[in-house]
A and B are shown apart, each in its own frame.
Chain A
Amino acid sequence: MKPMMVSEAAIRTAAPKRVGLSRRLQRLVQHHALEVFALVFGAAIWEVLGWGLALQWLPPFSQVIKALVQFLASGVILANLQSSLSSLIIGFVLSLVFGLLVGAFMGRYRTVEKALDVYVHALFVCPSILFAPIFFAIFGLSDAARIAIIVVYSTFVIVMNTATAIRTVDPSLVEMAYSFGCRERQIFTRILLPASLPLVFAGIRLGVGRAVKGMINGEMLIAFVGLGALAEKYGAQFDAPKVFAIAMVVLIIGLVSDAIVQTLENHLTRWAD
């Protein structure tokens, strides 16, 4: 027995990489096993209820998947997806730039904060879709209208988080930087920016979620293009499987964009956890 164990140990240490990789895979599956199970279980319940209740608004899961496959095969969804995503990206990038800039100035300068705080809070609390008719009047039936909606949806949560993030940076770090002769610009780039990243990212993640909502709402209510318009069209026809199929696409957009931001966040703020 004894020599066996020794040789086994030797093999293990000889190929540590392969063992590590398969272990990691195993761990990954174990980590997500519950999530996968929850999804499969949910789909099964949905399927059973869909057939059993035979409600018009609740098609079985398999029919939704069928509608989704048909959408993908006909290319209808890809064209609309492209249109929706391009407005989402443009709108979100605008929100990000504006949100970070305004938020940073509000966080750093008390006067800017006092001047803008009431507006930012009002616009954050106000249901953004209220602005739809106004944007429609300004931009008409154009991409600009739905981009504007996305911007209104996602900007203010980014502004508020960024302002709080900058305001709550440890003042001793700022004082330390001053003591080494940092100018205001260096305080920003070397202290405030990196120190505020974790909270800023929390705002960006909320902003992404709201941007996806804004995208669909804008398309359904004013622009009549993209995924939102498609959902509106089939909704009017009471074609539930197709509406659910579109909802699933939107869900996936939301999850993927959130995952992208989260990956970036993990990469940039590893020091904070």
Chain B
Amino acid sequence: MIRVKGLCKEFATFDNGSGGVLALSDIDFEVRDNEFVTVIGPSGCGKTTLLRIIAGLIPYHQGEVSIDSRPVVGPGPERAVVFQSFALLPWADVLGNVTFGLDVRGEAKSESQARAKELIKLVGLEGFEKRLPKELSGGMQQRVGLARALAVNPRILLMDEPFGALDEQTRRLLQEQLLQLWERERKTVIFITHSMEEAVMLGDRVMLMTPRPGRVKEMIDVPLKRPRPRDVEKSPAFVEIKEYLWENLRAMQTAQP
């Protein structure tokens, strides 16, 4: 279980000595094991900062962030991150990128390659093992990013707007495939997004955040049955939650000129 309590994060500013910018203020929430939580909020609400703190990539000074009651002090083998920019090694082929996490941990080459090939197949990139990232489309690149994260067999998947840089068709396709993967092998997922459809489509719960400073406004349950077919978008429950999110996000946008 991921537990965040009373978390505040302040970024130092260099132009004056009088304190910094409060990015996150008094964040409280819990994510249960194998739960899929999507996080949505306008720019500047600190959602990426929150994810990076949970990933152990940046420090926090106040409050509590723990995974199964152990405080987060850095990255750990039970967590893996999928990045918005894909963050693939441009000099390594698909296979080399997917084995990265395993190589770092010093796994035997034959084992890590076998594991990587399995995942490359799972994300539908069989036959592309020897390609370089620049030879792949954005959607394919993010599949590599996903396979790389899954290769280390994490219990927790932290996804930072993973489909944000993709076009609409590719994005929908990847959403469906991510859901299929997740149905087969449930993991705890925190998924940052800008898209209201995506938030409702994927999440068991949607965390709505407000900006300046970043706060959790509300945790919204998504009472849609799983597995979710695509046409769930047309169901009244889906539309209702989406409308509710839009009302809130719209109010936040208009409150800030």
Residues of A within 8 A of B (CB): 170, 172-173, 175-182, 186, 190-191, 194-195, 197, 269, 271-272
B77 touches A181 (CB 8 A): yes
Give Cα A170–Cα B77 distance, bound, in whole angstroms.
Answer: 23
With beta carbons under 8 angstroms apart, the residue of A172, A197, A271 that contacts B83 is A172
> Nearest B residue to A186 by beta-carbon distance?
B104
B158: nearest chain-A partner, CB-CB: A179
Contacts of A195 in B (CB 8 A): 89-91
Give the contact-size bracket for chain B.
Answer: 20 to 34
Which chain B residues numbered 75 to 89 have a C-beta less than 8 Å away from chain A? 75-77, 79-81, 83, 85, 87, 89
Q: Which residues of A contact B56 (CB under 8 A)?
A: 179
Interface members, chain B 50-105 (any A CB < 8 Å): 55-57, 75-77, 79-81, 83, 85, 87, 89-91, 100-101, 103-105
Is A179 a contact partner of B104 (Cβ separation < 8 A)? no
The CA-CA distance from A197 to B89 in the complex, in Å, is: 13
- Chain A CB within 10 A, most for which of B56, B80, B87: B87
Q: Which residues of A contact B87 (CB under 8 A)?
A: 170, 172-173, 175-176
Known: A179-B81, A181-B77. A271 touches B90 (CB 8 A): yes
Known: A180-B101, A181-B75, A194-B89. 4 other contacts (CB 8 A): A175-B83, A176-B81, A180-B152, A197-B91
Whole-angstrom distance between the Cβ of B88 and the nearest chain A Cβ:
8
* B residues in contact with A182, CB < 8 Å: 104
Q: Quick one: closest B residue to A269, CB to CB? A: B91
Among A173, A177, A180, A181, residue most surrounded by chain B Cβ atoms (within 10 Å)? A180
- How far apart are B9's CB and chain A's nearest CB, in angstroms? 16
Residues of A near B121 (CB, < 8 A) are none
Residues 192-220 of B, flagged 1 when their CB comes within 8 A of A and 0 if not, give 00000000000000000000000000000
Q: How far is the CB of A20 from chain B (nearest CB, A)?
A: 22
Residues on the B chain within 8 Å of A172, using CB: 83, 85, 87
15 interchain pairs, CB-CB under 8 A: A175-B57, A175-B83, A176-B81, A176-B87, A177-B100, A177-B104, A179-B75, A180-B80, A181-B75, A181-B77, A181-B105, A195-B89, A195-B90, A271-B132, A272-B90
Contacts of B75 in A (CB 8 A): 178-181
